[in-house]
Structure 1
Amino acid sequence: MQTTVRSPGSSEFSRQDLPFTLKDVKAAIPEYCFQPSVFRSLAYFFLDIGIIAGLYAIAAYLDSWFFYPIFWFAQGTMFWALFVVGHDCGHGSFSKSKFLNNLIGHLSHTPILVPFHGWRISHRTHHANTGNVDTDESWYPIPESKYDQMGFAEKFVRFYAPLIAYPIYLFKRSPGRGPGSHFSPKSPLFRSNERNDIIVSTGAILAMVAFLGWFAVQFGFLAFVKFYFVPYVIFVIWLDLVTYLHHTEDDIPWYRGDDWYYLKGALSTIDRDYGIFNEIHHNIGTHVAHHIFHTIPHYYLKDATEAIKPLLGDYYRVSHAPIWRSFFKSQKACHYIADQGSHLYYQPEKK
């Protein structure tokens, strides 16, 4: 099969053709965008916690099956917003204090069963290798030969039910990268000097699981399902939907070997418009600037994006299509890449 080569604009998207450097991009962004505000970051954290607590209070008070569907969607969405706060902590863009980042990161991620340090480290790998077919960590494409060897269950989760994949990923990693639990300090995902961090985060998760078990015993399994499990599932769907759409589009290039380098890979993502949810989930859909400079706090991403758009030109990707239309389009068009070649694009499902 021939490798498909496409590009933004009329020029071939290769190392020598990028008309700007990482230094140029950084110079275009106002300096304040790189300076996190502890007060502002904490305000978002406490706002999310306050809304989550309020939703629980209303649901418990009403105890109405007419209200529960509204509660489930709203609370699952707020779990996702809380995850994004922890996401800033993992990048060090919440504050310049490592202690505060780790503390708020655990307070944000542990209640939604995300091991903060385990996620932080694998996500660091993703950012350092975005767009690299061989070394990216999240939602990377599968070579055609591997795709042909995948069994039904693996294909079903990866291509037909990707919105439930995240808990599986935490335990098993993604296909083609070998074993790698986010909970084990001996996982190949982590360096030996990071094992204590993993123990801390996994211990926090075990404590949360114990609390949920106590809650189910104390108040009944149905209460556990109503107040935690269904909102958690909605959160997982949000997480998988948004992260999938960050990097899965049939005109986003992927690279192998010497054709990849950091800035080119960082541009292999796309900004998307989530409408009324943009502010609720802290503008995580504003993703191009985030991948170039992940230390920009979420509340400055729109400012940074507007600053770099004139410089990036056609290399900046944005979609204003409805999110579910984009999802189903990518789900149909993005299944595998060619086994050979260094500049690659997703190919559609085989008939």
Structure 2
Amino acid sequence: METLGQKNDLTSEPRALMRALGDYRTPRIARSVIELLVTLIPFAFFWALSWVVLSAGHWLGLVLTIPAAGFLVRLFMIQHDCSHGAFFPSKHANDWVGRVIGVLTLTPFDFWRHTHRHHHAHSGNLDRPRIGGIDTLTVEEFSALPRDERLRYRFYRHPLVLFALGPAYLFLLDNRLPVGFMRAGWMPWLSTMATNAAILVLIATMMWLVGIGPFLLVQLPITLLAGTVGVWLFYIQHQFEDTFWEHDPNWTFQEAALHGSSHYDLPGVLRWFTANIGVHHVHHLCSRIPFYRLPDVLRDYPELRGIGRLTLWQSFASVRLVLWDEDKHRLVSFREANV
């Protein structure tokens, strides 16, 4: 283990830091099982409690869907760790736990893992297809678009679209077909269709048990709220003013990970429900670290706390940042870009 002075030096050497972070990669099986159980069991409990209260005619049942949505977000983050092979030592265990959770999160595990790995490999690279994240144009790209395409981009980047309509479309519709990968072989189709079949079986079973109306009244608010939170999290982890974007000659994986991903410093309760996904710069440097070991990294490398740090309140200002200005090397609003 390095001395504190050596650790301080590593933050200015992302490649060396990434190697040092390998010490945190080993998952603890018992801890992973416990984390899964303390997420899945409360999710089922609050789902059932919401149904019981709503069936009794009390609006309080809708309030109870809020913690259920929180636990669904946490299940998605466990699925996310599984996609990186970080949650269990066994690839088989990671794959099948991820696939089962994918039925609950409406996210085909193998296909999502494929697109998410592309995101990790090319995040912040202006010369690569921007797959697996929020579409972001440069000022020059936006200015070169015809008027109708500029209007479409403005519509897409409107907060109501991005965080309300967008999550509903993504999880209810877009995830049902491997859009954009129709000719990419059998994997996207098998992953998507197998997940769809399992979702249909689960929905049919639940509707038979609790009724069509009660099921929709409970499940839809949970899905939509969790989807909005999930999209917001993946948005804010790369969409902040001083993030890192570069063309190929000046782009490196390590710089993009450390300076192109935020440290979303959330209050403790929100950190727990989001499974430390806010420690995103560390996650991008070493995606095989289980989420419950990310706080250990910040403890041992306290200088990482200030890199890309955003508080909950500060993060809301990022919503207006919609274009990358290559001259200023930062995200800007439409007004700042004068377009």
TM bin, normalised by shorter chain, reads 0.7 to 0.9
Q: 1:344 aligns with which of 326, 329, 338?
A: 329
Q: Which residue number corresponds to residue 143 of structure 1?
A: 138
SS of equivalent to 2:111: helix
Q: Which residue number corresponds to residue 231 of structure 1?
A: 222
Q: Residues 159 and 335 of structure 1 are in contact (CA less than 8 Å); yes or no, is this contact kept in structure 2?
A: no
Q: Which residue number corresponds to residue 273 of structure 1?
A: 265
Q: Residues 185 and 196 of structure 1 are in contact (CA less than 8 Å); yes or no, is this contact kept in structure 2?
A: no
Of 213-222 and 18-27, deviating more is 213-222
Of 256-265 and 140-149, deviating more is 140-149
Q: Which residue number corresponds to residue 53 of structure 1?
A: 44
Distance 1:69 1:167, change over 3 A: closer
Q: 1:303-351 CA deviation, whole Å, 9 max, x = no partner?
A: 11333343x697x2212242xx522x1111x11124x66x832121236
Q: Which residue number corresponds to residue 132 of structure 1?
A: 125
Q: Distance in 1 between matches of 2:246 and 2:179?
A: 31
Q: Which residue number corresponds to residue 251 of structure 2?
A: 260
Gapped regions of structure 1 (runs ≥ 5): 1-17, 174-180
Q: Which residue number corresponds to residue 159 of structure 2?
A: 160
> Aligned-pair distance for 1:38?
1.8
Query: Which of 1 and 2 has higher RCO (CA within 8 Å, sep 6+)?
Result: 1
> Aligned-pair distance for 1:262?
0.6
* C-alpha RMSD over aligned residues: 2.9
Q: Residues 185 and 199 of structure 1 are in contact (CA less than 8 Å); yes or no, is this contact kept in structure 2?
A: no
Distance 1:186 1:344, change over 3 A: closer
Gapped regions of structure 2 (runs ≥ 5): 1-10
Q: Residues 266 and 312 of structure 2 are in contact (CA less than 8 Å); yes or no, is this contact kept in structure 1?
A: no
Q: 2:177 aligns with which of 153, 176, 183?
A: 183
Distance 1:129 1:307, change over 3 A: farther
SS of equivalent to 2:158: helix
> Aligned-pair distance for 1:240?
0.8
Q: Which residue number corresponds to residue 70 of structure 1?
A: 63
Percent of aligned positions with the same letter in both sequences? 19
Q: Distance in 1 between matches of 2:90 and 2:168?
A: 29
TM-score normalized by the length of structure 2:
0.82
Q: 1:92-122 CA deviation, whole Å, 9 max, x = no partner?
A: 0011211101110011121121111111110
Q: Distance in 2 between matches of 1:158 and 1:30?
A: 37
Q: Residues 72 and 105 of structure 2 are in contact (CA less than 8 Å); yes or no, is this contact kept in structure 1?
A: yes
Alignment of 1:118 with 2:111, yes or no, is yes
Q: 1:47-89 CA deviation, whole Å, 9 max, x = no partner?
A: 1110011112322333343322321211111111100010110
SS of equivalent to 1:346: strand
SS of equivalent to 2:178: coil
> Aligned-pair distance for 1:131?
1.4
Q: 1:279-310 CA deviation, whole Å, 9 max, x = no partner?
A: 12211111111010000000000111333343
Distance 1:30 1:111, change over 3 A: closer
> Aligned-pair distance for 1:271?
0.9
Alignment of 1:209 with 2:200, yes or no, is yes
Q: Residues 163 and 237 of structure 1 are in contact (CA less than 8 Å); yes or no, is this contact kept in structure 2?
A: yes
Q: 1:237-264 CA deviation, whole Å, 9 max, x = no partner?
A: 1101111110111121211121101101
TM-score normalized by the length of structure 1:
0.79
Paired residues, what number? Answer: 314
SS of equivalent to 2:117: helix
Q: Distance in 2 between matches of 1:88 and 1:196?
A: 20
Q: Residues 160 and 331 of structure 1 are in contact (CA less than 8 Å); yes or no, is this contact kept in structure 2?
A: yes
Alignment of 1:287 with 2:280, yes or no, is yes
Q: Residues 283 and 298 of structure 1 are in contact (CA less than 8 Å); yes or no, is this contact kept in structure 2?
A: yes
Distance 1:313 1:90, change over 3 A: closer
Q: Residues 48 and 82 of structure 1 are in contact (CA less than 8 Å); yes or no, is this contact kept in structure 2?
A: yes
SS of equivalent to 1:132: coil
Alignment of 1:335 with 2:326, yes or no, is no
Q: What letter is aligned with 1:82?
A: L
Distance 1:122 1:166, change over 3 A: farther
Q: Distance in 2 between matches of 1:37 and 1:224?
A: 36
